[in-house]
A = this chain, B = another copy of it.
Amino acid sequence: MAQTEPDSAAEAVLDALTFDEAGLIPAIAQQHDTGEVLMVAWMNRDAIIETLRTRQVVYWSRSRKALWRKGETSGQTQALKDFRIDCDGDTLLLLVNQEGVACHTGRRNCFYRAVRDGRIETIADVEIDPAKLYHA
């Protein structure tokens, strides 16, 4: 497969990053205005280039082994607001504007289980029926 050509910004970003042995780097998606941590997923080189170019977040799906244009199927897109790199260059923080819900369970974010009073509680409701997110 032909590699995507990075522009100069993407080139600088790629040079600053350390990818794991699978060529991936974890990325946190955070809602830009509320600070809500939405999800964590993985990006590869091409996902980063496309995300910076289109300003719509693209991950790498480890299960499907393919680029995962967030929201392409479900409509729950993430518009990129800021792209940040950590001190070690091995984790990304994406400030985004989440359309609808980030989690495949239909919840706004993926971190809906909390340890409370010595047990795990579900602290967020399903906002969109997952069957509606992934229908054909």
Contact = CB atoms under 8 A, between A and B. Distances in A.
Interface of A: 7-9, 12-13, 16, 26, 28, 30, 34-37, 39-40, 52, 82-88, 91, 93, 103-105, 107, 110-115, 118-120, 123
Q: How many copies does the complex hold?
A: 2
Given A34-B35, A35-B35, A120-B85, A13 B110 contact: no
B26 A37 contact: no
26 contacts: A7-B118, A8-B119, A9-B115, A9-B118, A9-B119, A12-B115, A13-B120, A26-B40, A28-B37, A28-B40, A35-B37, A37-B37, A39-B86, A40-B91, A52-B115, A83-B114, A84-B111, A84-B113, A84-B115, A85-B113, A86-B110, A86-B113, A87-B105, A87-B112, A88-B110, A93-B111
